[in-house]
């Protein structure tokens, strides 16, 4: 009589526990990546806003050097004559932090500056912008929240 020996064959593949461990590790890594990605996006928005404010500030200073005075105050519009210094579409689009850029001229305010009307981000991002541009204190300095409630990049204080 012939004896047939049966070897237990083990199916190749992963066990349920191994799969659960791998899925858990991938989940943790992806959660960390999403958090870091959001932080990088916010920093990029702050840096872009700071660059735009500085660029606009330089353009308004160039206008003042050329014309002998800053343009009159406007409400969310690029002042007449500034088209030679700033592309209107750049000034009129929403800021990276939400809201719109607004020229606050010395004809109405005791300073020449560029504010952000109705930003849609948390105050923490406005503070981060202040740290990027200035001293981190929104009450004083070159970038601050003015009495009208708008964060404003001050180009020049008027006496």
d(CA 79, CA 86): 10
Q: pLDDT at position 38, please?
A: 84
Give strand pairing partners of 20: none
Instruction: Tell me what pLDDT residue 105 has.
Output: 93
Q: Hey, where are the domains in the chain?
A: 47-157
121: pLDDT strictly greater than 70: yes
CB atoms within 10 A of CB 134: 17
Separation between Cα atoms, residue 51 and residue 42, nearest integer Å: 14
Q: Residues 6 or more apart from 35 whose CB is under 8 A from it?
A: none
Map tokens 């958090």 to a residue: 35
At 25-79, the pLDDT tens digits run 998 888 888 877 888 999 999 999 999 999 999 999 999 999 999 999 988 889 9
Task: Judge whether residue 126 has pLDDT over 80.
Answer: yes
pLDDT reading at 5 higher than 60: no
């Amino acid at each position: 009589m012939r004896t047939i020996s049966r070897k237990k064959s083990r199916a190749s593949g992963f066990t349920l526990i191994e799969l659960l461990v791998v899925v858990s590790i991938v989940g943790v890594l992806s959660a960390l990546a999403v958090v870091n990605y959001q932080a990088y996006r916010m920093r990029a928005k702050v840096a872009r806003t700071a660059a735009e404010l500085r660029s606009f500030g330089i353009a308004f200073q160039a206008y003042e050097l050329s014309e002998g005075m800053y343009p009159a105050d406007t409400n969310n519009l690029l002042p007449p004559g500034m088209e030679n210094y700033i592309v209107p579409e750049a000034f009129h689009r929403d800021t990276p932090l939400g809201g719109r850029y607004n020229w606050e001229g010395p004809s109405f305010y005791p300073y020449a500056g560029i504010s952000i009307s109705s930003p849609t981000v948390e105050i923490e991002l406005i503070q981060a912008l202040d740290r990027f541009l200035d001293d981190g204190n929104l009450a004083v300095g070159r970038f601050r929240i003015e009495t009208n409630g708008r964060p404003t990049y001050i180009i020049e204080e008027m006496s």
